[in-house]
């Protein structure tokens, strides 16, 4: 079996196991390449449909094209699209771009906290109304017990320790030292009330696999990843105050694949364009324990 076929098959298997075992299931969609591939894999798994809501955490500082792309795809595919946001922090201007807090604290506020409270239903969720094309406050505040996340093991140290099905306790904590065993494609699908499970269908994929697959399947992806003439493109997407484009003239998935295989990026870490990674010696681990993706 081809490497991509094997990865695809395993991811589809995991998605179907998630769907069978969790009533309140959702998929986090960051609009980035990984979760966009995951969305595609969901359509592979379920005959072209996506039978669960997609949740996006909107920090209000996302590169604007990301939001446009999100809504365009959501409308086109009839996705059950939901977003959450830390409205209070934004209103109080308690953010890094407003100069009140540092980058790490800002991530914590706008992403981690917003995510935790959106998943638990503590804060309002906004759901796309396909009739009006606008987002309404969602009546459904039930906590999601299964959350599908596009983390990859090769991204950075702490993610290499993840399980496919990874429990989070009531405060979203990840107890990396005491994870349940996972073997023979049997996953942790039983959990205590109040806890939830993160599901990682892309754990075994690398950045190169992702791009090879985007190329092979011709997956629609935001064009922020491609050079549009100024010799710059994004390698990893995030909030604009903290994410910088890289110098690259790759204009298609194929050119990105070549660049990753042999070109200038074959030896440079993917998240090198993200400022917050550099501020903490332990990498993303502190954030990750708190529930940041």
Partner 1 sequence: MNEREQMNIVIVGHVDHGKSTLIGRLLADTDVLPDGKLEQIKEHCRKNSREFEYAFLLDALKDEQSQGITIDSARCFFKSDKRRYLLIDAPGHIEFLKNMISGAARAESALLLIDAQEGIQENSKRHGYMLSMLGIKQVAVCVNKMDLVKYDKKVFSAIETEYTKFLSDIGITPQAFIPVSAREGDNIASSSKNLSWFTGKHVLEVLDSFAKEPLPEEKPLRMPIQGVYKFTKKGDDRRLIAGRIESGTLNVGDEVVFLPSNKRSIIKSIEEFNAPTSSFAKAGQSVSLTLQEQIYVNRGELMTRKEDVLPQVSSLLRANIFWMGKTPLSTDKRYKLKLGTTSVPVMIKSIESVLDASNLDAAKKAHVERHEVAECILECQQPIAFDLSAELASTGRFVLVDEFDIAGGGIIAQALDDKQKKARAQVFLREQKWEKGHVSMKDRAEKYSQLPTLLLLTGKTGVDKKSIAKLVEKKLFDAGRKSYFLGIGNILRGIDADITKTERDEHVRRFGEVANLLLDAGLLVVGTASDLDVDDLRLLQTINKRGETYIVHVGDPDGTHDVAHLLLDAADDHEVNALKVIEQLKLKNYIFNL
Residues of this chain that bind partner 1 (CB under 8 A): 1-6, 8-9, 12-13, 16-17, 19-20, 43-49, 51, 78, 153-154, 156-158, 160-161, 163, 176-177, 179-184, 186, 188, 190-192, 203-204, 206, 217-218, 261, 267-269, 281-283, 285
Q: For the sheet with 196-199, list strands across it.
A: 134-137, 126-129, 81-84, 54-57, 25-28, 146-148, 196-199, 165-168
Give dist(CA 150, CA 139) in Å, integer.
Answer: 26
Q: How far is the CB of 246 from partner 1 (least distance, A)?
A: 14
Q: How far is the CB of 89 from partner 1 (least distance, A)?
A: 27
SS3 33: helix
User: Could you tell me how far CA 69 lies from the centroid of its own chain?
Assistant: 15
| CB closer to partner 1 out of 100 and 188 | 188
Q: How far is the CB of 133 from partner 1 (least distance, A)?
A: 19
| CB closer to partner 1 out of 131 and 229 | 131
Beta-bridged to residue 183, according to DSSP, are: 186
Residues 6+ apart with CB under 8 A from 250: 226, 227, 233, 256, 258, 259
| CB closer to partner 1 out of 164 and 234 | 164
Q: How far is the CB of 117 from partner 1 (least distance, A)?
A: 24
User: Could you tell me how far CA 76 lies from the centroid of its own chain?
Assistant: 20
Q: Note whether 152 and 203 are within 8 A (CB).
A: yes
Q: How far is the CB of 258 from partner 1 (least distance, A)?
A: 12
| CB closer to partner 1 out of 62 and 168 | 168
């Amino acid at each position: 079996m081809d490497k991509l076929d094997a990865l695809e098959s395993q991811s589809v298997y995991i998605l179907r196991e998630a769907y069978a075992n969790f009533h309140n299931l959702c998929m986090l969609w960051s609009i980035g390449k990984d979760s966009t591939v995951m969305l595609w894999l969901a359509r592979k798994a379920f005959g072209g449909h996506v039978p669960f809501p997609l949740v996006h955490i909107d920090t209000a500082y996302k590169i604007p094209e990301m939001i446009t792309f999100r809504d365009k795809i959501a409308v086109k595919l009839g996705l059950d699209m939901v977003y959450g946001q830390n409205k209070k922090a934004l209103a109080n201007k308690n953010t890094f771009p407003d100069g009140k807090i540092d980058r790490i604290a800002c991530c914590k506020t706008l992403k981690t906290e917003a995510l935790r409270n959106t998943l638990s239903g503590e804060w309002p969720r906004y759901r796309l109304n396909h009739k009006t094309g606008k987002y309404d406050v969602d009546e459904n505040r039930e906590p999601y017990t299964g959350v599908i996340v596009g983390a990859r093991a090769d991204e950075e140290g702490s993610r290499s320790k993840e399980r496919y099905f990874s429990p989070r306790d009531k405060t979203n904590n990840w107890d990396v030292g005491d994870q349940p065993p996972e073997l023979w494609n049997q996953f942790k699908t039983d959990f205590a009330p109040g806890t939830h499970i993160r599901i990682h269908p892309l754990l075994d994929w690398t950045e190169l696999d992702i791009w090879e697959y985007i190329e092979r399947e011709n997956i629609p992806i935001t064009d922020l990843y491609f050079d549009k003439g100024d010799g710059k493109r994004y390698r990893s997407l995030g909030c604009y105050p903290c994410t910088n484009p890289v110098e690259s003239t790759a204009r298609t998935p194929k050119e990105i694949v070549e660049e990753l295989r042999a070109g200038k990026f074959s030896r440079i870490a993917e998240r090198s364009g993200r400022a917050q990674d550099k501020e903490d010696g332990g990498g993303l681990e502190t954030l990750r324990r708190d529930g940041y993706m």
